[in-house]
Structure 1
Amino acid sequence: MKTALVTGASRGIGRAIAIRLAADGAAVIVHYGTDEAGAAATVETIERAGGTAYAVRAELGADEDVDTLFAGVEAALAGRPLDILVNNAAAPPAGPLGVTTREEFDHLFAVNVRAPYFTVQRALPLLPDGGRIVTISSVATRMANPAQTSFAMTKGAVETMTLTLANDLGTRAITVNAVAPGATRTPTNAPAFAAPGLVESITRSTALGRLGAPEDVADIVAFLASDAARWITGQIIDATGGLFLGPRA
């Protein structure tokens, strides 16, 4: 049985990824920051379906966050290797340039850049040759949205990390990829899509004509984590359904 660590797996895209990897037979370490009930629900869903899961708490962005995380991870692994690492946890956009505070900016980079970087660093001794690293990025890196400047900067950083790590770890057959979702409706962000006309505007600008669902992203991550994707590395996979590809008739 393979093992997987999914950060930020108490809800939304992270929960969907954890459930999907478990369905493929992996024992999943469900990381959460503050949502203990949500992490428990993810674990329960996996176990109810016959899978294996463990909840591990660590508040990313805080001092010694990765130390706390891997104390729990190594306890759950109990000497087994960590086959799959999914860096999903992220702080949300803090606002446009004129509004974002220094504290918000620093928090964004601590959670979205520093934590994934040092999570990979700590995971590498546990990853066997042929392991998988997948990081969740965002469509924000390829479109100009002034309200998400600092957030987009963090995602651009992890995309660069993806490229350099893929080149570095290829000798161990460890693949390193990123998945960039677009407008994805989750229980947490559903209120954001309640603005009049917003959903219609997004779907008109999306080639596949709908909002994304967490399961859409989870299926892509599961593919990249599988043996079928062994020849794919250093790639940023667009998971937007074709958002803003160009003018629509």
Structure 2
Amino acid sequence: MTTNNRIALITGGSRGLGRNMAEALAARGVDVIFTFHSAEAQAAEVVKVIESHGRTGTALRLDVRDTAGYPAFVEQLKKTLGDRKLDILVNNAGTGAYAPFMEVTEAQFDELVNVHLKSTFFISQRVVPLMNDGGRILNVSSGLARFALPGYAAYATMKGAVETLTRSMARELGPRRISVNVVAPGAIATDFGGGHVRDNKQLQAMLIPTIAMGRIGQPDDIGPAVAVLTAPELGWMTAQRIELSGGQSL
């Protein structure tokens, strides 16, 4: 299955899961615009991979924490799109925070709100007018919105809020046939949070027995699934939570 002539916007697409999503969508015939914060060299690499699939790749700099910069970003996005409109929006940008509930600071909490929740809400609000009717929005949550692990209270709170937001967005954007779903990865070996899962063998040893598939997830477990979940054929699916955790904490 290919999805030729479609175009996607992914926030946080220069590394980790976002990069894998961009590459998987390009492999299925989708042109990809993605944002990056500061990793310009990594962003250029992703553009090359997208282009190797015969698709157009564009990297736009954006600090998702800074809502004051959103209007300028939207103008950049409009110029990049030209006379086209977006078919897919993936709200993927994120940051990790690992601290016990009693030690989380207000500054840490606010940072998570800005990156995970506020950006998903207000980037979507600004981008939806640039989308085709019948488009796809996929928000990124976490398995931690369903099960609890020590040290993730603040992070999990944001992801629970994203899941609630997803249902409201689906309800309000339904008249335009824009489907809005949420994907919830489990423990994945990436550089997210400084490689918190990827590089911590002790943490992996604790998590693996709780995962039905018996291993830590890899980026390739997520990107292709995102490409499928945003396909044209899945327009009747909306307001749904799809967990990609290998069956963690069942």
Superposition TM-score, scaled by structure 1 size: 0.93
**Post-superposition shift, 1:171?**
1.6
Change in 2 beyond 3 A, CA 1:196/1:169: closer
Q: Are 2:78 and 1:74 equivalent residues in the alignment?
A: yes
Question: Which of 223, 240, 244 is residue 239 of structure 1 equivalent to?
Answer: 244
Q: CA deviation digits over 1:1-57, x for unaligned, max 9? A: 111000000000000001111111111002111111111111111112322100100
Unaligned 5+ runs, structure 1: none
Question: Is structure 2 residue 94 aligned with structure 1 residue 85?
Answer: no
Q: Distance in 2 between matches of 1:204 and 1:116?
A: 33
Of 76-85 and 88-97, the range deviating more from structure 2: 88-97
Identity of aligned residues (%): 39
Provide the C-alpha distance between the structure 1 equivalents of 2:123 and 2:207, rounded to a whole number of angstroms.
34
Q: How does 1:133-172 map to 2 (within 5 A)?
A: 133-172=137-176
More displaced, 66-75 or 177-186?
66-75
Stretches of structure 2 that go unaligned for 5 or more consecutive residues are none
The counterpart of 1:207, out of the listed 205, 212, 215, is 212
TM-superposed CA distance for 1:196, in Å, is 4.2
CA distance in 2, matches of 1:70, 1:95: 34
1:115 is aligned to: 119
Q: SS at 2:222's partner residue?
A: helix
* 1:98 alignment partner, SS class: helix
Q: Do the aligned partners of residues 193 and 218 (structure 1) sit closer, same or farther apart at CA in structure 2, a change above 3 Å counting?
A: closer
The 3-state SS of whatever aligns with 1:221 is helix
Quick check: 1:94–1:105 contact (8 Å CA) kept in 2? no
Contact residue 187 and residue 197 of structure 2 kept, 8 A: no
Alignment of 1:127-138 (within 5 A): 127-138=131-142
How far apart are the structure 1 equivalents of 2:65 and 2:113?
A: 8
* Per-residue Cα deviation, 1:90-109 (whole angstroms, up to 9, x for no partner): 12125222222211111110
TM-score norm. by structure 2 comes to 0.93
Amino acid in the other structure paired with 1:235: Q
Asked if the contact 1:6/1:14 (under 8 Å) is kept, the reply is yes
What CA distance in whole angstroms lies between the structure 1 residues aligned with 2:26 and 2:88? 12
Give the counterpart of 2:27 among 23, 26, 29. Answer: 23
Does 2:185 align with 1:181? yes
